[in-house]
């Protein structure tokens, strides 16, 4: 166990270093490409011919792969806080290598990102198992997720066609918002592709399904849009600011998309996949408890007769039952409240960054 955790710790640290430094390398590549042609912020694509920018992309890919493998060897409680250190790495390197300054409130924002991501992972429900691409296609075509997809596309189009030409050079949320909204669809598509690859390697060919190729086309399209506007954000604003805001927004929208698609944090999902039924098992699943008149009155809402309190033993039995029942009923609510608090804090941070702290 110690050896496995050590491997996960090392991989998580390597991942943070690579991902954090990738922002700096790509920024330097964008600057170098902007000297000889149109800058990325002006719609130029000269950075595609710049080797330094590609080094930054390769660095980011290595970091993401290391982060993925780290979760195999170590628990999320260890990997996630270390993975979020990429924000600090990019902020520190930007200060020394790019001469970009990060104010105190920006530092507080970085800290909130790390704390928030840790809390989210600690209280995240167990992931449901997917047996085929057709199954994930059914989840992707359910009305709730189709509504989210339509809303995400509409939001991205408004940001691209209206906000970007007018406010893109002055408000960092425009470019980062496009990356984050489109990025949530990228993650869902890549997840489907990953499942298809895994099942194919196990012997069940998923390439024969047209859904696999639709997910692939969606992923490629979204990645191109996402990288384009991320480069524009890096070329326009300080890396020390882009990194934490992008991390917070991208994570928030990805969690929202995942929650809608997989119906996470719904009572049925938590009971089926997160072991909520175990918490309820001590009282609700035992027939002898349910047949007790006190138990029946608890669930029927009827007034409890005083004859059941004739002895201290019965009174203690009733108090114990009510305590267990109330705890089991509140398990789902507590998870939902925690999730709500996390999102509220995240959006408060989001709006403060958008309208007060980072008007460059």
Q: What is the pLDDT of residues 21-61, one digit of tens each?
A: 998 999 899 888 888 778 877 778 888 888 999 999 999 99
Predicted local distance difference test score (pLDDT) of residue 32: 87
- Same domain, residue pair 66 and 171: no
Residue 152 reports pLDDT greater than 60 = yes
- Apex 97 CA angle, 92 and 103, nearest 5: 45
> pLDDT per residue over 166-201, tens digit each?
998 889 899 999 999 998 898 888 888 888 888 888
The residues facing 171 across adjacent strands are 359
Decide which of 228, 249, 264 is a domain's last residue.
264
- Same domain, residue pair 135 and 254: yes
Which residues span the domain enclosing 186? 128-264
Residue 214 reports pLDDT greater than 90 = yes
Whole-angstrom distance, CA of residue 233 vs CA of residue 87: 16
**Stronger pLDDT, 165 or 358, i.e. the higher one:** 165
Kindly state the tokens that stand for 26.
């790509």
- Same domain, residue pair 7 and 116: yes
Domain count, the chain: 3
- Same domain, residue pair 192 and 214: yes
Residue 287 reports pLDDT greater than 50 = no
Cα distances (Å, whole numbers) of residue 95 to 8, 103, 239, 307: 29, 11, 9, 74
Kindly state the tokens that stand for 323.
């305590």
- Same domain, residue pair 174 and 47: no
- CA 111, chain centre distance (Å): 17
Residue 76 reports pLDDT greater than 80 = no
- Same domain, residue pair 83 and 139: no
- Same domain, residue pair 135 and 256: yes
Decide which of 97, 124, 151 is a domain's last residue.
124
- Same domain, residue pair 100 and 141: no
- Same domain, residue pair 68 and 88: yes
Q: Are 213 and 142 in contact (CB under 8 A)?
A: no
- Same domain, residue pair 154 and 249: yes
- Same domain, residue pair 172 and 183: yes
Predicted local distance difference test score (pLDDT) of residue 330: 47
């Amino acid at each position: 166990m110690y050896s496995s955790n050590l491997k996960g710790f090392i991989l998580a640290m390597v991942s943070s270093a690579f991902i954090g430094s990738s922002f700096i390398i790509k920024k330097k590549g964008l600057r170098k490409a902007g000297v000889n042609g149109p800058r990325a912020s002006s719609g130029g694509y000269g950075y595609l011919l710049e080797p330094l920018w590609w080094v930054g992309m390769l660095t980011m890919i290595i970091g993401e792969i290391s982060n993925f493998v780290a979760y195999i060897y170590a628990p999320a409680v260890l990997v996630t806080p270390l993975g979020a250190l990429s924000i600090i790495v990019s902020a520190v390197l930007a200060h020394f290598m790019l001469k970009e300054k990060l104010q105190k409130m920006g530092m507080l924002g970085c800290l909130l990102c790390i704390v928030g991501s840790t809390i989210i992972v600690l209280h995240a429900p167990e992931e449901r198992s997917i047996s085929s691409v057709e199954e994930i296609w059914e989840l992707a075509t359910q009305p709730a997720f189709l509504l989210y997809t339509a809303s995400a596309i509409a939001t991205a189009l408004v940001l691209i066609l209206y906000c970007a030409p007018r406010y893109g050079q002055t408000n960092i949320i425009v470019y980062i918002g496009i990356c984050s909204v489109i990025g949530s669809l990228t993650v869902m598509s890549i997840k489907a592709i990953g499942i298809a690859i895994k099942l194919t390697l196990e012997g069940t060919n998923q390439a024969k399904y047209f859904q696999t190729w639709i997910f692939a086309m969606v992923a490629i399209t979204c990645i191109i849009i996402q990288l384009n506007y991320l480069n524009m954000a890096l070329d326009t604003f300080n890396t020390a600011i882009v990194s934490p805001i992008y991390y917070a927004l991208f994570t928030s929208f990805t969690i929202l998309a995942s929650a809608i698609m997989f119906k996470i944090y719904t009572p049925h999902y938590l009971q089926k996949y997160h072991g909520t039924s175990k918490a309820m098992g001590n009282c609700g699943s035992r027939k002898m408890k349910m047949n007790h008149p006190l138990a029946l009155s608890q669930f029927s809402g009827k007034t409890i007769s005083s004859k059941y309190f004739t002895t201290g033993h019965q009174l203690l039995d009733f108090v114990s039952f009510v305590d267990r029942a109330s705890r089991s009923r509140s398990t789902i609510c507590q998870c939902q409240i925690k999730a709500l608090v996390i999102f509220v804090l995240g959006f408060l941070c989001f709006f403060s960054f958008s309208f007060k702290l980072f008007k460059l």
